[in-house]
Amino acid sequence: MRLSRFFTDTPLSLGEHELPEAQAHYISRVLRMTEGDALQLFDGSGSEFRGTLLEVGKKRVRVQLDECFAGQVESGLRIHLGQGLSRGERMDWAIQKATELGVSEITPIVSERCEVRLKDERAEKRQMHWQQIAVSACGWCR
């Protein structure tokens, strides 16, 4: 069975760690993982960690990281995708799939015929939303 894989923005090391509340909710309520289940964490530094769940609660998950290994070697290609803004969830889908395929950088583009126009505050919210989608998609790519 495939290990569930999660990104965390805090530096990891061997030992005991508490995961952020959003991940705790996902692990306990969505995946319904229980104490003793194995998982894999990565922090974007190139290392990955395997561990075991010690405590699983609604808002708190503690994990014991036992093994550190070099993460998957990234492709030597640095792919930069210029993605035209699209309506609704199509932009979310494009970002998710591009991240899963290994695109290293995505730039939203507003073209002459683009129907989507984002004001400053809305653009910031969309950028944070798209970054979260990319982080989530990292858990699926190898």
Neighbours of 27 (CB within 10 A): 22
Low-confidence ranges of the chain (pLDDT < 70): 1, 71-75, 139-142
Domain ranges for the chain, please list them.
Answer: 4-70, 80-138
pLDDT value at residue 50: 93
Q: Which residues contact 23 (CB under 8 A, 6 or more apart)?
A: 6, 8, 61
CATH topology of domain 4-70: Ribosomal Protein L25; Chain P (2.40.240)
pLDDT value at residue 54: 94
How open is the CA angle 44-61-9, to the nearest 5 degrees?
Answer: 20
d(CA 57, CA 111): 47
pLDDT value at residue 72: 63
Pairing status of strand 47-56 against strand 4-7: unpaired
CA dihedral 106, 111, 115, 121 (to 10 degrees): 60
Per-residue pLDDT of 39-64, as tens digits, reads 999 887 778 899 999 999 888 999 99
d(CA 13, CA 127): 30
pLDDT value at residue 18: 92
Q: Which residues contact 111 (CB under 8 A, 6 or more apart)?
A: 84
